[in-house]
Structure 1
C-alpha cells in the first residue's frame, strides 16, 4: 500500500467552505475513482488554516491513474468551479508519500 498525506494551506476564512466541499461531494467523487480516504485532521491551532488527510492507494501506478480520472471527472470540475466562484479555497497543497513501517501493527 501507498499512503498519500495531503496538507492543504487553506485560504484564511475559507476552512468551512473546503470542509463542506469534502463532506458533501469530494469524498463521494474520490470513492468513484477507488480513492480511499483514511482520515481527515484540522490543525489544533486553527489559526494556521491547515487541513490534512490521507489517501490509501494500491501502489504509485494506481494512484496516478485514479487521481487523473478524478481530475478529469466532469462532476469534480463543475464542483470545483462552483465552489471557487469567490476565489480558491486553498493556497497550496503539500504531498508526502508514505508506506507502513514493518515494526508497528495496529490490533
Structure 2
C-alpha cells in the first residue's frame, strides 16, 4: 500500500433510544462547523436504516485528517473548545455510545 496524504476516520454514534433526530440536529447545528474549525474535513454523514428502510438510532460519518497525529490534535482541540463544552453542559445526554475506525485508502480508491 502506498502512503496517502490523508487518513479517514469512520465514526458511528448510537443515540439514546428515540433521540437520533436530536443527535443529527446537534451535528448539523454545531459539530460540523467545529470539526472544520479544528481541521477535520467532512466527507459524509448518514443515518443507518433497517431492512425496511426505517431509520435506526445510528449516525455514521466520515471525516478526513492530514494524518493520525493531526486527527489526535484536532479531536483534543474539539473536545476542549469552549463552544462545544458549553453545549454539552447545557444539553441532555443524547449519545449512548461512539466508535471510531481509521481508514487508509487503497491506491485505486477514488477518495484519497
State TM-score, norm by structure 2.
0.85
The residue that corresponds to 1:71 in the other structure is 79
Out of 50-59 and 38-47, give the one that drifted further.
38-47
Query: Any runs of at least 4 consecutive aligned residues in structure 1 with deviations exceeding 4 A, and if so which?
Result: none
Task: Work out whether residues 7 and 95 of structure 1, in 8 Å CA contact, stay in contact via their aligned partners in 2.
Answer: yes
Paired positions, count: 103
User: Which 5+ residue runs of structure 1 have no aligned equivalent?
Assistant: none
> Which structure 2 segments of 5+ residues have no match?
1-5
Give me the whole-angstrom Cα distance separating, in 2, the residues matched to 1:80 and 1:61: 25
Equivalent-residue separation in structure 1 for 2:55 and 2:65 (angstroms): 31
Q: Which residue is 1:80 aligned to?
A: 88
* Aligned counterpart for 1:29 among listed residues 13, 34, 37: 34
Q: Which residue is equivalent to 1:59? A: 67
Task: Give 1:15's aligned residue.
Answer: 20
After TM superposition, the score normalised by the length of structure 1 is: 0.89
Q: Aligned-pair distance for 1:47?
A: 5.5
Deviation at residue 65 of structure 1 after TM alignment:
0.7
Q: What is the alpha-carbon root mean square deviation over aligned residues?
A: 1.4
40, 49, 60: which one aligns with 2:45? 40
Residue 49 of structure 1 aligns to a residue in which SS? strand
